[in-house]
Amino acid sequence: MGAFGIRGMCWRRNRMKQIYAGLLVSSILIGIWLLLQAQTEHNDTVFKLNQEIQTLRAKIHRIQTHEVDTSIPIIYVITPTYTRPVQKAELTRLMNAFTLVPNLHWIIVEDSSSKTDLVKNLLTSFPKPSTHLNIQTPAKMKLKPKDKWWSKPRGVFQRNLALSWLKENEKNKEGIIYFADDDNTYSVDLFEEIRGTKRVSVLPVGLVGGVKVEKPQVSGGKVVGWEVGWGNERPFAVDMAGFAINLQYFLKHTDVKFLEQVKVGHQESEFLFQLVSLDQLEPVAVGRVLVWHTRTQALNLNREDWFLKHYGYSSDTGIEL
Ligand code: UDP
Ligand code: MN
């Protein structure tokens, strides 16, 4: 074997080494490429699934908050409310009932100079469309502790603000307006009774006006008078909870609003007088009581002062009542 032969073998060995190294490097590169490819695919799948989740979340949100069923009118429920110990309990009772009503839009108007967190949070947990407004009743119109509860109109400025809001924001909608004070109890059935209101519908109200039931007197499908414990002579002897108005009908009657100065107990009558005549009223829920003026009983908080002295803080410190 000559020198040439040895050199030739070395060259071949080197060549083999280079080929192996080349193969190794390329398989590593292919491996990395495959890994990157898999990673990209994985990322794409995750991205796609996340998008699907987003779409479903949006869908759930839409269903929960805007059950838009254009075949039935929206019921706009207007609730004036003010801060006091029973407020959250009252509004929670309302919220639980309203949650069960399809196509309902709750308008809460606080009697205050600013919106409170209590109402803000309550509406955040309400799974339907809602509007949060506030307007403070002027001091001279406000009920003082020594005033008789019926001596000043309550909720007047708040209901009027809600009506203005409807005029400005919902004028193209098919809807029904219903005034739901926060101290009443509402049956879910009530809302289906008033949903067909063409002008103004009227219905019985329980536990109000000093009697068990106040109701329109109905004859031949028409309202012919009122069966009430007092104020029978009022043109419309009906409680705030005892009527509903068609939104489009209301919008045709500009300037209709609750009056700041009325004879005691005449608020509803004076309001409806601007809108309809007796023979135009539509009786609904005939023979059924679907709303009660329950009123929370006068509170007994007479140990609160003792609590404060004993513990050094009031009983609702750090916990929303
Ligand atoms: N209200 C209000 N500010 C007040 C008193 C009452 O906004 O200073 C609200 C109250 O929360 C309720 C409505 O107005 O939704 C009617 O008040 P209330 O039930 O006391 O009146 P009544 O039914 O006795 O006429
Ligand atoms: Mn009331």
Per-residue pLDDT of the chain (321 residues; tens, 9 = 90+): 455 566 676 778 888 889 999 899 999 999 999 999 999 889 888 888 888 887 667 656 655 655 567 789 999 999 999 999 999 999 999 999 999 999 999 999 999 999 999 999 999 999 999 999 999 999 887 767 777 666 678 999 999 999 999 999 999 999 999 999 999 999 999 999 999 999 999 999 999 999 999 999 999 999 999 999 999 999 999 999 999 999 999 999 989 999 998 999 999 999 999 999 999 999 999 999 999 999 888 889 999 999 999 999 999 999 999
Q: Which residues are catalytic?
A: 268
Each residue of 153-181: b (16+ CB within 10 Å) or e? bbbbbbbbbbbebbeeebeeeebbbbbbb
- % of the chain beyond a pLDDT of 90: 76
The candidate with the shortest Cα–Cα distance to 95, out of 125, 67, 66, is: 125
Residue 185 is encoded by which pair of tokens?
A: 């109890």
Q: Which of 77, 79, 82 to mutate to test the pocket of ligand 1 (most atoms within 8 A of CB)?
A: 82
104-141 tens-digit pLDDT: 999 999 999 999 999 999 999 999 999 999 999 998 87
Question: At the topology level of CATH, where does 77-293 sit?
Answer: Spore Coat Polysaccharide Biosynthesis Protein SpsA; Chain A (3.90.550)
Q: Which of 84, 133, 181 to mutate to test the pocket of ligand 1 (most atoms within 8 A of CB)?
A: 181
Are 266 and 239 spatial neighbours (Cβ–Cβ below 8 Å)? no
| CB atoms closer than 10 angstroms to residue 52 | 10
Nearest ligand 1 atom to the CA of 109 is: 7
Give the list of residues 6+ apart from residue 166 with CB closer than 8 angstroms, or none: 76, 107, 175, 177, 247, 250, 251
Question: Using a 6 Å cutoff on CB, does residue 82 contact ligand 1?
Answer: yes
Are 116 and 72 spatial neighbours (Cβ–Cβ below 8 Å)? no
Quick one: DSSP state of residue 121? H
Nearest ligand 1 atom to the CA of 158 is: 7
Ligand with an atom nearest the CA of residue 79: 1
Nearest CA to ligand 1 atom 11: 81
Provide the pLDDT for residue 1: 46
Provide the pLDDT for residue 2: 52
Question: Using a 6 Å cutoff on CB, does residue 158 contact ligand 1?
Answer: yes
Span from the CA of 45 to the centroid of ligand 1 (angstroms): 56
Give the list of residues 6+ apart from residue 209 with CB closer than 8 angstroms, or none: 228, 229, 230, 231, 239
- % of the chain beyond a pLDDT of 70: 92
Provide the pLDDT for residue 286: 97
Residue 220 is encoded by which pair of tokens?
A: 């031949």
Are 282 and 206 spatial neighbours (Cβ–Cβ below 8 Å)? no
Q: Which of 141, 154, 238 to mutate to test the pocket of ligand 1 (most atoms within 8 A of CB)?
A: 154
Q: What gap in Å lies between CA 285 and CA 139, rounded to an integer?
A: 38
Are 107 and 162 spatial neighbours (Cβ–Cβ below 8 Å)? yes
Q: What is the identity of the amino acid at 204?
A: P
The DSSP secondary structure of 26-77, one letter per residue, reads HHHHHHHHHHHHHHHHHHHHHHHHHHHHHHHHHHHHHHHH----TTS-EEEE
Give the list of residues 6+ apart from residue 146 with CB closer than 8 angstroms, or none: none
Q: In a 10 Å sphere around its CB, with 0-12 CB exposed, 13-18 middle and 19+ buried, how is residue 17 labelled?
A: exposed
Helices (H) and strands (E) in the chain, counts: 8, 12
Nearest CA to ligand 1 atom 10: 81
Question: Using a 6 Å cutoff on CB, does residue 155 contact ligand 1?
Answer: yes
Span from the CA of 183 to the centroid of ligand 2 (angstroms): 5
